[in-house]
Structure 1
Amino acid sequence: MFAKFSFTVRACGVAGCVAGAAAAVAGWTSAEQNNHVMLASSAYMAQQITPNISLDSSAGDMRHRMEGLILRTQKDLCDALSKIDGKEFRVDRWLRPNEGGGGISCVLQDGKVFEKAGVNISVVKGVLPPEAVKQMRARGHSALKEGESLPFFACGVSSVIHPRNPFVPTLHFNYRYFEVISDNQRIWWFGGGTDLTPYYLDETDAKHFHSTLEKACRPHNPSFYQRFKKTCDNYFVIKFRGERRGVGGIFFDDMDQPSADACYQFVDSCAKSVIPSYIPIVKRHYRDPYTDRHRQWQLLRRGRYVEFNLVYDRGTKFGFNTPGARIESILMSLPLEARWEYMHEPEPNSPEGKMMAVLKNPRDWI
């Protein structure tokens, strides 16, 4: 998953070295470098990607506003997850010295509560290859010139959280902003969503999750939640199995109406709903007792998660089709362990069977 905008990159192991190099290129003094790094490290997980600018959420270039949003979202979620788990995230800041931009990949692995949790951001620019332009035209961006390589800017935050306890669901979300220049015209849009993948059905959890998302959508447009829930149910489908990946959430793409500011405000509300939609569920269940049977079912469902991400997910495929993609960031979404079992069918009235019934026939939760 993104940061599904992790295109051509050079991995950098030490954030401080990267920050110093970027500052040196920008012509900062040593004092300015140190001050900027300290400010960045306290406000974000690492120094912001675009140097020496204000990332004010209320004014300025939309590129800078979105960079601020995704950096704050990453920091807030990593802090919340670390507080529960007791383990800190590994932070990798990387740059694209030839094309421009970079990203920050934060991964917590082998924790007490989270088996693998990744929260990535990327702020990149460069040239889209014709194959990527073709994908976008297929989604309705007919103004993009076919068969040409086009300049682009993209920034986004993406996260997948795989818990250790089978009674804690997996969470995925991503929020992004995209610009493409075609025939000297700037074409922009927003996209994103949040969805939940439980291993065992808890209706209270599903209702809480969806109610929180509906609350985030309502002030912007009363129809958004139902529209984007349906889109989510229809997007996260493993078609060759006839199953949804989970109990859904919201999903939208190519949003460019009514204005850039209105779209930004909506995305900001959605991003701020991630923690209240998910963290209470984690706290309710991460101490629940479970058996090896529960664990084996969790691993089977994680196999389905892998199938969707590698076969159907647009962002994953887009990353693979972009030359020089940072594979470690794209595949951050995959679990540490998964399982495939030949012809496995749960008993219809078992807890596993009840979960499968919902995956085959999505429900309304509020």
Structure 2
Amino acid sequence: MFDTEKATAAAWFRDLRNEIVSVFEQLEDSHDTGPFSDAQPGRFEVKETKRHSDDGADAGGGLMSVMRGGRVFEKVGVNVSTVFGQLGERAQQAMATRKGIPGMTEDPRFWASGISLVAHMQNPHAPAVHMNTRMFWTPHAWWFGGGSDLNPCIEYDEDTAHFHATQKAHLDPHGPGHYPRLKEWADEYFFIPHRKRARGVGGIFLDDYCTGDWSSDFALTQDIGRAFLPAFLPLVEKRRQQSFDAADKDTQLIHRGLYAEYNLVYDRGTKFGLETGHDPDAVLMSLPPLAKWV
């Protein structure tokens, strides 16, 4: 059941991963003036990840691709995975309670595939960014999720405007109501309650998305993924050669502390990955290489 749709989604997430990895390495090669241009261009280190069930059986895996210490990217990870098996008791209860899915305790099988990206930049003027898209299936329901959000430590109104306008342009063909709803959802989701502030300048986000029309929902998910590079790359091109001082770098490190707090305390993907036995290095790839707290 749904084997064709699963294979189609997993292949697309892998293709998107390949495109982004290639573009980011090209960006490293092209950065030949400005801060960090005398460093070696960064390259992704690729590691195959494996997930095993409690009894040791194969339960899927994926690729963890991480670049560290490049000219443009201080640390960027682009992970893709396809995992399957049986949900544990806590996950079953979460599905039944938060998602309202009946029957999970009787048949707790699941399948999930997706891409997850987090980039932390060398230059404090260049914004950090997050993006993911995913498909989740159980015998009782299926849905899509994902989005992207911008996390600058030094904010520029024109950069924020470009990021949001590009996402809106990709979502509008699916209906004019999508962008404002997904923007509001991102504002709510990427909020740090104990700091009483957002972790960045927002973006788009959706979860548990299922209209009953798989092709239509997948097309929307694809355009969320397609929006990422045109929304983000022009901002990096604009800021990567900008000069900065020690105070700017300090601001960046403190802002990264907010990012780490959110991902460790609130992020659903982090919790799900760790609770279902996925490779912890891949799950925690999103954490910045350096951070600071006042």
Task: Tell me the number of residue pairs that the alignment of Structure 1 and Structure 2 aligns.
Answer: 277
2:19 is aligned to: 76
Superposition map of 1:88-237 within 5 A: 88-96=43-51, 98-146=57-105, 150-181=108-139, 186-237=140-191
Mapped pair 1:245 → 2:191: no
* Inter-partner Cα distance in structure 2 for 1:105 and 1:325: 12
Amino acid at match of 1:173: M
2:51, 2:279 within 8 Å by CA — same for their partners in 1? no
2:42 corresponds in structure 1 to 87
- Checking the alignment, whether the CA contact within 8 Å between 1:133 and 1:149 is kept in structure 2 is no
Unaligned runs of 5+ in 1: 1-58, 342-366
The answer for the alignment partner of 2:34 in structure 1 is none
Once superposed, which parts of structure 1, at least 4 consecutive aligned residues long, lie more than 3 Å away? none
Q: Which has the higher contact order (CA 8 A, sep 6+)?
A: 1
Match of 1:301 in 2: 255
Contact 1:205 1:281 in 2 (8 A): yes
For residues 276 and 199 of structure 1, the distance between their equivalents in structure 2, rounded to whole angstroms, comes to: 20
Supply the RMSD in Å over aligned alpha carbons: 1.5
| 1:137-175 deviation line (CA, Å, top 9, x unaligned) | 3322332435x6711100000000000111011110110
Instruction: Determine if contact 2:153/2:252 at 8 Å carries over to the other structure.
Output: yes
CA distance in 2, matches of 1:163, 1:145: 41
Higher percent of residues as strand: 2
Tell me how far apart the structure 2 counterparts of residues 134 and 277 of structure 1 sit (CA, whole Å).
Answer: 37
Q: Deviations over 1:158-198 (max 9, x none)?
A: 000000111011110110000112xxxx4110000110001
1:318 and 2:272 correspond: yes
2:185 and 2:71 map into 1 onto residues whose CA distance is 34
8 Å CA contact retained: 1:217, 1:225: yes
C-alpha deviation, 1:60, in angstroms: 7.5
TM-score of the pair, normalised by structure 2: 0.91
Scaled by the length of structure 1, the TM-score of the pair is: 0.73
Q: Which AA in structure 1 matches 2:19?
A: D
Q: Deviations over 1:190-220 (max 9, x none)?
A: 0001100011111111111000100111011
User: Is the 1:159–1:173 Cα contact (8 Å) retained in structure 2?
Assistant: yes
Which residue does the alignment assign to 1:332?
A: 285
- Structure 2: runs of 5 or more not aligned: 29-40
Q: Is the 8 A contact 1:128 1:149 kept in 2?
A: no
* Structure 1 residues 119-140: Cα deviation after superposition (integer angstroms, max 9, x where no partner): 0000111110010122223322
